[in-house]
Amino acid sequence: MRMSKLLMPTLREVPAEAEIASHKLMLRAGMIRKLASGIYSYLPLGLRVERKIEQIVREEMDKAGALELLMPALLPAEAYMQSGRWEIFGPSMFKMKDRYERDFCLGPTHEELFTQTAIDNIRSYKEYPMTMYQIQHKYRDEGRPRFGVIRSREFVMKDAYSFDLSEEGLDRSYQAMYKAYCNVFNRLGLDFTIVDADSGAMGGSGSQEFMVKSPVGEDGIAYCDDCGYAANYEKAECVPTEVECPEGDLDMEMIHTPNAHTIEELVEFMGAKPYNFVKTIIYKADDKFIAAMVRGDRDVNEVKLKNLVGCVDDLELAEPFEVKRITNAEVGFAGPVGLQIPVYVDKEVELMKNFIVGANQTDMHYKNVNIGKDFTPFMIADIRVICPGDKCPRCGKEIKAAQGIEVGHIFKLGTKYSKALGLKAQTETGEEKDVIMGCYGIGVTRCLAASIEQNNDENGIIWPVAIAPYEAVVVPVNAKSEEQTALAEEIYKELSDAGIEALIDDRNERPGVKFKDSDLIGIPVRIVVGKKCGEGIVEYKERTAAEAVEKTVSQAVKDVISFIKSNK
């Protein structure tokens, strides 16, 4: 490709709208342009990378035996109404009506439609197991679109769905996808971690997420370097730790704590340690109220709590006026003693004695409170958020924390959608069975940004060869020199003939501009044709190398070819 003919509007300035490296660099390298919040156009360089990622995903899906098909993105409402997700998606679903006032949406994910496809087209139980997939635009009206294509409102997803007649079959289909995902992310050159993820209160027996560790990631990961345990923060099991508590068989005592609402204020006021307190937080679970108790230095894990309560719609903090009604006190003084709603207590609190809680009276707390003696929990379970420094639930060593970008998600769905829509198979013996499903997603466009997050420096993007928009660039330093131009053209032709996706920078630009651009757009290897071209000497530089190396023309060409072929 001739760079003089390429639509590559690179920017020297850092665009004000971008906060993170990948977003800045995708804009600066002229890969994408924003059309509206969370909606982007892909210019040629961006599209080439996106297509390469798609292709790697496609090859690995095909290798795993999945069948590619393509659904519409514009979908009639019925199947989503049948599954209940027309309501559940709430404002994140783009909904519309056609001219006959019929309801439609832009597909946020396609479980319902693939289930429908199986109902309509799989004729015999003998056709199972089957896995189908598509690579397609998805639409989600995200509450906070941000970070460019990492969280956008239109994005490309590969979504796959497996259909099996037994749990063992589902395990096999799931494992095949797990392996395919490892292959995909390895080929993309991503440094990833696989974490156990929450599979929700409803259905689903297993779920894992593929995370790219990155400080800009929106998901928390708890991991252990010693045994390899890794889990999503929402899912990570907590090992209760014991803390020092006041000794003895003490009696509960009310204390006046004026204006001390928070743990910090109480610590200051009472001279106790944060872990001597137990927080009581009032939640609204669907339409019931519950209380959750965790140690003063811990946080409630709302996902665990929601699953435990079996809450279908929403678990949210009770409004201040509701807290007041339930506790008869201002917010900040809730406690378990005498509370008339179910109290869920974290396991760690069970190890404590003589602790401090709110007294359900404004400006009052109780000290020396003990489970059993002073109040009865509705349930004691693991309901807290894991912390760095906690014990690993597998090996007991220290847990560490990192942030991650979720690039893929695999999920054992079970029979949730087959039951809702009526996907059954009649077996040999005439028995009717609900088909067991799995679903598997990869955020194709998010992968693009995740790769840049992991591969960049102060000069720009550093593409792994496998997904670079072009593999090599030939730069004649002086566009006016016929000698340099002729040699550069010759090298460009040789590389192209050898199957290398090469660029030639034939623009009438200063050398500095050309070098800056080739670094910015992240081309893996560059040949510079300069002053020594008369002697048959050029400069060879890999994007990651600090310095260029002088080589003969034939050596440089040979090295480019072998570098590209061996890194693909």
Name the residues that contact ligand ATP, by CB under 6 A: 109, 140, 142, 151-152, 155, 157, 406-409, 441, 443, 445-446
514 binds Mg ion (CB under 5 A): no
Q: How far is the CB of 47 from ligand ATP (least distance, A)?
A: 16
Least CB distance to ligand ATP at residue 335 (A): 34
52 binds, among ligand ATP, Mg ion, none (CB under 5 to 8 A by kind): none
Q: Which two tokens stand for residue 454?
A: 């992991």
Three-state secondary structure of 358-401: ECCCCCEEEEEECECCCECCCEEECCECCCCCCECCCCCCECEE
Window of 131-139, 186-194, 402-410, 468-476 that interacts with Mg ion by CB under 5 A = 402-410
In the complex, residue closest to Mg ion by CB? 409
- Residues β-bridged to residue 212: 192, 405
Nearest-angstrom CA–CA distance, 174 and 42: 32
Write out 65-117 in H/E/C secondary structure.
CCEECCCCCEEECHHHHHHCHHHHCHHHCEEEECCCCCEEEECCCCHHHHHHH
Per CB under 5 A, 409 contacts Mg ion? yes
Q: How far is the CB of 150 from ligand ATP (least distance, A)?
A: 6
**Residue 24 binds which one of Mg ion, ligand ATP, none, with CB within 5 to 8 A depending on kind?**
none
Instruction: Compute the half-sphere exposure of residue 407: CA atoms within 13 Å on the CB side of its CA.
Output: 30
User: Among residues 141, 150, 117, 143, which one has the least CA distance to residue 131?
Assistant: 117
CA 264 to chain centroid, in Å, comes to 33
Q: Which is nearer to ligand ATP, 229 or 233 (CB)?
A: 233
Scanning 157-165, 170-178, 221-229, 401-409 for contacts with Mg ion by CB under 5 A, the matching segment is: 401-409
Closest CB to ligand ATP among residues 281, 467: 467
Q: How far is the CB of 49 from ligand ATP (least distance, A)?
A: 15
| Exposed/middle/buried for residue 174 (C-beta within 10 Å: 0-12, 13-18, 19+) | buried
Q: Among residues 111 and 346, whose Cβ is nearest to ligand ATP?
A: 111
Instruction: Give me the least distance between CB of 163 and ligand ATP, in Å please.
Output: 19
In the complex with ligand ATP, which residue's Cβ is closer, 209 or 517? 209
Smallest gap from residue 184 Cβ to ligand ATP (A): 12
Minimum CB separation of residue 244 from ligand ATP in Å reads 39
Q: Closer to ligand ATP at the Cβ: 410 or 425?
A: 410
* Sign of CA pseudo-dihedral 303, 309, 314, 320: negative
Q: Which amino acid is at 417?
A: Y
Is 541 among the residues that bind Mg ion (CB under 5 A)?
no
CA distance 402 to 192: 12
Query: CA-CA distance, 552 to 453, in Å (whole number)?
Result: 35
Distances (CA, A) of 534 to 26, 478, 550, 553: 37, 13, 13, 11
Confirm or reject binding of residue 146 to Mg ion (CB under 5 A): no
Q: Which residue's CB is nearer to ligand ATP, number 99 or number 144?
A: 144
Choose from Mg ion, ligand ATP, none: what does 541 bind? Cβ within 5-8 Å by kind.
Answer: none
Name the binder of 142 from ligand ATP, Mg ion, none, CB < 5-8 A by kind.
ligand ATP
CB 252 within 8 A of CB 358: no
Q: Which residues bind Mg ion (CB under 5 A)?
A: 409
